[in-house]
Amino acid sequence: MKILKFGGTSVANAENIKRVLEIVNQKSEQDQLVVVVSALSKVTDLLQSAAAKAASNDESYKDIVAEIEKKHLDTLKALIPVSEQSSLLSHVKRIINHLETLLDGCFLLGELSNRTADTILSFGELLSSYIIAEALKQTNKNSGYKDSRELIKTNNHFGKAAVNFEVTNQLIREYFAANDSQVVIMPGFIASSLDGIITTLGRGGSDYSAAILAGALDAKVLEIWTDVNGMYTANPKIVKQAQPIATISYQEAMELSHFGAKVLYPPTIQPVLRKNIPIVIKNTFEPESAGTYISNQVSSKDTIVKGISHIDNISLITLEGPGMIGVSGSSKRLFEVLSNESINVIFITQASSEHSICIGILNSDAENAEQAINGAFEVEITQNKVDPCVVEKNLCIIALVGENMKNHQGLSGRMFSTLGKNNVNIRAIAQGASERNISVVINERDVKKALNTLHENFFEENTKQLNLFVMGVGNVGEKFIEQIHNQRKFLKENLKINVRVIALSNSRKMVFDEDGISLKEWQAALENGETANKDTFIARAKDLNLRNSIFVDITANASVSETYEEFLKQSIAVVTCNKIACSSEYDNYKKLKNLSRQFNAPFLFETNVGAGLPIIDTVKNLIASGDKVHKIQAVLSGSLNFIFNNFDENNSFHDVVKEAGVQGFTEPDPKIDLSGIDVARKILILIRESGYEMDIDAIANESFMPAESLATTNNEDFFASLTKHAPHFKAIYDEALSKDSRLKYVAQFENGKASVGLQFIPKDHPFYNLEGKDNIVLFYTDRYVDQPLLIKGAGAGAAVTASGIFADVIRIGNV
């Protein structure tokens, strides 16, 4: 014999019930079946709401009854031929009338007892099982119906009654020994006390009803049919990469179900565990899928962690004080108080000094628990031996579960490290001696990030998902997005990095998509986005609270650079080509570096100097390996190098600067490049990364530009001034020609002093043959004394700058 149980979504409506009947008829060809059914989807919630409204003298309970009636009558009419509906509809209406009478009583009395609540809630299963049994008779004549209340007997603990297994097992065996129906339909969730009063087995009790039947009848298997393909490695509604678990032990299933895996009601396992009856969780809507097989078999080849589960709406209560140290019975008194108040303790941890005990309970029990505990320890609190208990609400318990965890070291550390890297603060920790479960308490707002981060680490071949918030999508930004789009497959397959762009913003518009913006159509998405607002952008990035979040700044905006602190404090990494933050006051630069370390949030700015060239990374490696930089000589502006390489007797200074802008080598405001401030910022960043303290005003800026040009306030006036002062620029060029030299804008640092300015470079100098938009840097160090360490290559352009930003993003993915 097989026991099949179908949940609320499986019997939500007539269409779904037809699927159920197909499954039942197919399986009944091979085996005798007992089919346990839940109430139609959402009906139990409706009944609960109607009862609460009636008891509070809210007449809208009648509307709910009408809704329940319509739902069941519509379902019956869709399943039963018209010719046979009359008596069945009358029967359903009689049941509804009985329900309405009970609710009328609650309305008149203005109260709802637990006993009455059980009776009202039983109507969901009574109605659904009756309709399904009648529908099955249309295709399977050898089928019948049995009211579970006549077989499953309990005590009078209304709401979650305890089963009297001795009486129940005998009644079940006697009934089925005398019954030869191939299929018997029974309502789940409901039972009755020994004196015949209706009781219920707790929400989710239909699973339990089926397990009770399976245990009593020594069934071949217990099949739980639901709307998912079994138990998952995590909640698939929160973790989209979650996968069904093929096989799992009873103990693992119990742990997962206890910690919120709603596909299985926790008490279900007990009746079948004793008889070693396997449980199979199947999908009504994909019956061919294998589902999850639960038994006493544990394979050593299985994954270390079987699943990650969680319980929401948790409060943490801490009782502590010096008066508890060495005093026996404190724990007993605490738990006795909670037991007397019928408060279930979900989580326990105690300091080895006995100075404090910490417990996790449901939020709904927190206020009652606080009052009861403080009352029980009132004397000790008055004498300052024990502090009043501390209650922290809106928390969540997350648990790693797996039989094989006990055979592997370091899982706790791996779990805590994974959460810590994403700024998920652990409030409490518990691990049993069996090492089958590691539980932590965290803030409820972090649950999505925590579950996804842990799932990524333990189940996804260490594939790391990076969530990017990109501000600035001009020339460089476009190339950056294009490079991500082109390389996504390679990164996923070879580096195990999955890059998603969650948000994009330019100066006008911004767009967010928690599931990732389509990089094929990002321009259209951005154009149709909301009005850009920097503060809203930051707030949204924080609120989404996604794992491995990275803020990517591809602007030259000072106000954007001032937001880095906010991101780093949220453990959101920052990648930027914006030089303003790292060349700001030294104290601000150091603060950002310290915040990066404190909150474990990378702060990378390789493209601040040399675009895509590995200049800053090289300096970091030199310093980390114990070397010391004494002198730096560099051409750090690709745009200025391009300009002076192309400025000659045939090309005016004005025209060359224009062309540099067209090709994207200069900033939108070319004065930033031509004033020397951009180069000054770059050498300052290299000086700071080399371990020296310096501010921008300590760098001598020997400008070659006329004061009038630098004083202009818009590009039109600026370019007009270049034409006006053409003789000034020609004189500089002629002087270089007369000295058989080339013009290079050079940055220097030596003996604690730094300068930037235009220089005449002779033929024998390493800078002389620097072509196009290339940069070059010479580092003189303890190790590189006579021959400097030289880095040379393209130092400007959208593509190379974007590649440098992309490389920083990949660095974070590889951390």
**Distance, CA of 772 to CA of 722 (rounded, Å):** 21
Would you tell me how many other CB atoms lie within 10 Å of the CB of residue 57? 12
- Annotated catalytic residues are 682
Are the beta carbons of 616 and 608 closer than 8 angstroms? yes
Residue in the structure block whose two tokens are 């039963």 = 80
Minimal CA–CA distance to 21: which of 180, 179, 128? 128
Strand arrangement of the beta sheet that strand 530-531 belongs to:
530-531, 509-512, 497-505, 464-471, 549-553, 573-576, 603-604
**Distance, CA of 259 to CA of 132 (rounded, Å):** 32
* Token pair in block for residue 94: 């009689």
Minimal CA–CA distance to 189: which of 154, 230, 165? 154
Strand arrangement of the beta sheet that strand 789-794 belongs to:
699-702, 753-761, 742-750, 629-635, 774-781, 789-794
3-class secondary structure, 155: coil
Residue 695 identity: D
Indicate the DSSP class of residue 651. Answer: B
CA distances (Å), origin 131, targets 90, 94, 121, 139, 607: 12, 13, 17, 14, 69
In terms of phi and psi (left: phi > 0; alpha: psi -120 to 50; beta: otherwise), the region of 505 is beta
Indicate the DSSP class of residue 797. Answer: S
Rounded to 5 degrees, φ, ψ at 245 are: -95, 125
Largest Cα separation within the chain, whole Å, is: 117
Q: What does the buried/exposed string (b/e) look like for 463-477 if buried means 16 or more CB atoms within 10 Å of the residue's CB?
A: bbbbbbbbbbbebbb
CA distances (Å), origin 354, targets 316, 331, 387: 17, 9, 14
Are the beta carbons of 155 and 162 closer than 8 angstroms? yes
Question: CB within 8 A of 485, min separation 6: which ones?
Answer: 519, 520
Minimal CA–CA distance to 88: which of 118, 121, 131? 131
Provide the CB-side half-sphere exposure for 81 (13 A, CA).
6
DSSP secondary structure, 52-110, as one string: HHHHTT-TTHHHHHHHHHHHHHHHHHHHS-GGGHHHHHHHHHHHHHHHHHHHHHHHHHT
C-alpha torsion sign, points 649, 651, 656, 658: positive
In terms of phi and psi (left: phi > 0; alpha: psi -120 to 50; beta: otherwise), the region of 110 is left
DSSP-assigned beta bridge partners for residue 187: 37
* Token pair in block for residue 533: 């607002």
C-alpha angle 402-408-411 in degrees, rounded to nearest 5? 75
**Distance, CA of 606 to CA of 608 (rounded, Å):** 5
Question: CB within 8 A of 736, min separation 6: which ones?
Answer: 742, 743, 760
Are the beta carbons of 38 and 6 closer than 8 angstroms? yes
Residue in the structure block whose two tokens are 């089928």 = 143
Sequence-ordered alpha helix ranges (H) in 599-690: 615-624, 638-646, 653-662, 671-674, 677-689
